[in-house]
Structure 1
Amino acid sequence: MPKGLEVQYLTIHGHKRAFVKTGSGPALLLLHGLGCDHTTWRSVIPALARRYTVIAPDLLGHGLSDKPRADYSVGGYANGMRDLLTVLGIDKVTVAGHSFGGGVAMQFAYQFPERTERMVLVAPGGLGPEVTPAIRAITLPGFHQAMGVVTLPGVRHATKLSMKALAYSGLSKARDLDEVAEIVDSFRDPRARAAIRHVVSHCVDWRGQVVTMADRAYLTQAMPMLVVWGTEDSVIPVRHAGVAAEIAPGATVEVVGNAGHFPHKDHPQRFVKIVNDFIGSTEPAVYHRGRWRNLLRTGGQTVAGPVAAPVVRPDAAEIA
C-alpha cells in the first residue's frame, strides 16, 4: 500500500472491520474479490483519491477484518457495507466491485438503490455459471484439510515462490498467479479458510456459479453501470462481458486487451481513466420509488434500447 495510506478499524455488530479511507470528493466504494483484501486496489487508489473519497474495506472474513462464524452471503455483505458507510457518515456512493466483490456491488445496488449512484463491475461474478475449477473445488470435501497441508510453512513458501515465478514467466494463463499466491498464503489461517468456504458455498456449487443478476439486470435502466473485463481472464471468461451488454443494454462495457482477471492491476492507468471517464460522463442515479416500483412491475419491458458493443482497449505496447 502506498506510503501514508493507513488502515483504519471500526467495530460493527461486535466484529472488527478494516478499511482504508482517503481522498476527497464524491464517494467511491471499492470491493475486493474472493480471498483478496483492500490491497488488491493499491495500484489505483492514489490516482482515484485525487477525485473521489475512496473507501476500500477488507470484507468480513478477509484480510485484517475479523473472521467470525457469521453470515457470508452476498446479501449479508451488502448489509455490512451499508452499515460501514452509515457509521462513516457517507450517504451515497459509486460502488465498484471486482470478481466476487462485483456480485456484492450488484447486490448493494439492488438492496439500497437510494444509496447507490453508479455501479462499476470488474470481471464480476453473477453473469453466468462458468468459473474456474479452482473456485468450485473450495466447495468439495477435504478442501480445508488440503489447504492445511499446502499452507504448512515450508510447503507454503515453495508454493508461493512457484506461483509468482509462473506469474512473471510471460504466460498469459499464468499472469494472475501472483494474486492467487497471496490468497493461498492467507489460507494459513484456519479461520480464513472456513470463511472463504462459507462465502463460496453461498454462490458456487460443483456446476459453477448459482447467483445471477440476469433476472434483475433491467433495474440498471435506473442506474449507470460500467463493466470492465480483461481479454485474458482465466477465472471468469471474458465472454460474460457480452452477456452484460445483452442483459443490460444501457451499460458501458469495456474489454481491456492484454489483461487478466485483475485489469486494475495489469493496467492501472487505463483502469483509472476508464473509471474517470465513466463517472465524468454519467449523472448519478436519483432514486425514485415510483420509477423503481414501475420497473419491478413491468420487468423493464416498457423501456428498450440498443445493445452496447464491448469496447476493446489496445495493448499497452500500442499506447506507449
Structure 2
Amino acid sequence: MNEAIKTVVMPKWGLSMSSGKITDWLAGVGDEVADGDELADIDTDKIAGTLESADAGILRAIVAKAGEDVPVGATIALIAPAEVAEDEIEQAAEQAREEIESGAVEEVTGPMTGAVEVGGRTISYATLGTGEETVVLVHGYGGDKNSWLFVQEPLSATRTVHALDLPGHGESTKDVGDGSLETLATTVRGFLDALGIERAHLVGHSLGGAVVTAVAATEPARVASLTLVAPAGFGEQVNAEYLRGFAAATSRRELKPHLTQLFADPQQVTRQLADDLMKFKRLDGVDQVLNTLLGTLLDGDRPGIDAVPELTRVRAPLAVVWGRADRVLPPDNAEQLAARTAVSYIDGAGHMVHMEQPNAVVRAVESVAGTPEG
C-alpha cells in the first residue's frame, strides 16, 4: 500500500476491549482533517468515546459504516493527500473491508500490566507507549487504572504512560492503612521509585488530584508537570451524599442512581459499568477501604482535604480541567486554582471529564507537558 495512505483503526481503549461500534461519523469523505480532529463516535462495552485523527490529510474513504461492530485494530477509514490516485484508495479500502469481513485483523497490543511492591502492598499498573518522557495517571475514589482508557492511548503515541491502581482499588492490595493523603502520596512516590522513574508528568483525577498535588509539593525535582482533573482538596463544596451513597450501595439498583451523578449524560452509566463496580465493591476488604477513605475525603458534610498549602509549594507547570456539569465537586471549587493558572471548564462533562471528554484532558496534559516527537 502507498505509504502516503494512512489508516484509521479501531482503537483498543482498555484491557478488555475487543471490538467497538461506530455510532456516528463526525467527518465525511472529502473532508480535510488535521491531527487531533474528531473523526467518529465509538461505543465500547464500558462507555462511549470520540476517536481523533492521528494524521493530517483528506478523509478519502470510510471503510466501516455507522452502526457496525468492528474488531480492535481493524482499518475503519483512510486518510491521504489529494495526489494519491483514487484507484489506490479503492484498492486499499477493498482490502481493509475484506479483513473486517473475514476476521483476519492483526491483533492490537493493549496496555501491558504489571505489579510492584510499595510499602508492603502490591500496586497494580498498566503501561502503554515507549517514549522517553513518562506520564503517570492517578484515579479517584472508587476508580481504577481502566478509568483512563480514553486518555492513556493518545498520550502513549509519544510517551510512556502508566496508569496505576491506588491501594484498595482495582487489582492492588485491598488495604489503605490509615487512608490519609500522605499514605496515598507515599504510594505514588514509591511507585516512581519501584519503576526507576526519575521525572514524570503527573495527572490526577478527584482524590488522585489531591494525591499528585501532594507528591509535586514534596518531590519538585521529580515532577515535570501537573495536570489536575476535577481535583479534591480545593474549594468548600463536596457532594457528601454521593460519596456515602457510593460506599454504602450493596446492589446495582442502589448504586446506579449514585453513578449517574458522575456524568453530564446519565446514559453513560451502562449496565456493564455498574456491574463492574459492584464486583469491585464485593471484594474482601473493599468495604473497609471505601469507608476509611471517606474519613479522608469528608469532615462531616464538608471537604476533609485541603490541598491549597501543598499547591503553594508546587513549581511545576500546572493545568486544570473541570466539567461544567460536575455534581460531585462543583466547578466553583476551581476558583482557588484560577489564581494560579487558567482553568479549562469543559461543556458536556460531569465529574468524569476524562471519560466523557477525554480529548480535553489530553490537550490539557499536552499544554504543560509539550508535544515531544515520537
Is TM > 0.5 for Structure 1 vs Structure 2? yes
Question: Given residue 243 of structure 1, which amino acid in structure 2 is its aligned partner?
Answer: Q
Q: Percent identity?
A: 26
Compared CA separation, residues 25 and 208, structure 1 to 2 (3 A):
same
Question: Given residue 194 of structure 1, which amino acid in structure 2 is its aligned partner?
Answer: Q
Deviation at 1:176, TM superposition (A): 6.5
Compared CA separation, residues 243 and 281, structure 1 to 2 (3 A):
farther
CA offsets, 1:41-81, max 9 Å, x none?
A: 01111111012211111000001001136242111111111
What residue in structure 2 maps to residue 26 of structure 1?
133
> Which protein has greater RCO, CA pairs closer than 8 Å, 6+ apart?
1
What residue in structure 1 maps to residue 304 of structure 2?
210
Question: Given residue 241 of structure 1, which amino acid in structure 2 is its aligned partner?
Answer: A
Match of 1:14 among 115, 120, 133: 120
Structure 2 CA distance for aligned equivalents of residues 225 and 44 of structure 1: 18
Equivalent runs, 1:140-155 vs 2, <5 Å: 146-147=248-249, 150-151=250-251
Match of 2:142 among 28, 35, 43: 35
Deviation at 1:34, TM superposition (A): 0.3
Equivalent runs, 1:259-274 vs 2, <5 Å: 259-274=349-364
Contact 1:29 1:95 in 2 (8 A): yes
Kindly report the root-mean-square deviation, in angstroms, between the aligned alpha carbons of the 2 structures: 2.8
What residue in structure 1 maps to residue 217 of structure 2?
110
2:116 aligned counterpart, secondary structure: strand
Unaligned regions of 5+ residues in structure 2, if any? 1-13, 16-108
Question: Given residue 140 of structure 2, which amino acid in structure 1 is its aligned partner?
Answer: G
Structure possessing the higher radius of gyration over alpha carbons: 2
Match of 1:227 among 308, 316, 320: 320
Q: Which moved more, 1:1-10 or 1:100-109?
A: 1-10
What residue in structure 1 maps to residue 287 of structure 2?
193
What residue in structure 2 maps to residue 236 of structure 1?
329
Question: Counting strand residues as a fraction of each chain, which structure ranks higher?
Answer: 2
CA offsets, 1:180-234, max 9 Å, x none?
A: 77545421124111112112212312222121122343324x2211110011111
Structure 1 CA distance for aligned equivalents of residues 169 and 358 of structure 2: 23
Unaligned regions of 5+ residues in structure 1, if any? 283-320
What residue in structure 2 maps to residue 254 of structure 1?
344
Deviation at 1:167, TM superposition (A): 8.3
Match of 1:130 among 237, 241, 246: 237
Count of aligned pairs: 263
Give the structure-1-normalised TM-score: 0.73
Structure 2 CA distance for aligned equivalents of residues 117 and 59 of structure 1: 21
What residue in structure 1 maps to residue 94 of structure 2?
none
Contact 2:224 2:369 in 1 (8 A): no
Structure 2 CA distance for aligned equivalents of residues 57 and 123 of structure 1: 18
1:219 aligned counterpart, secondary structure: coil
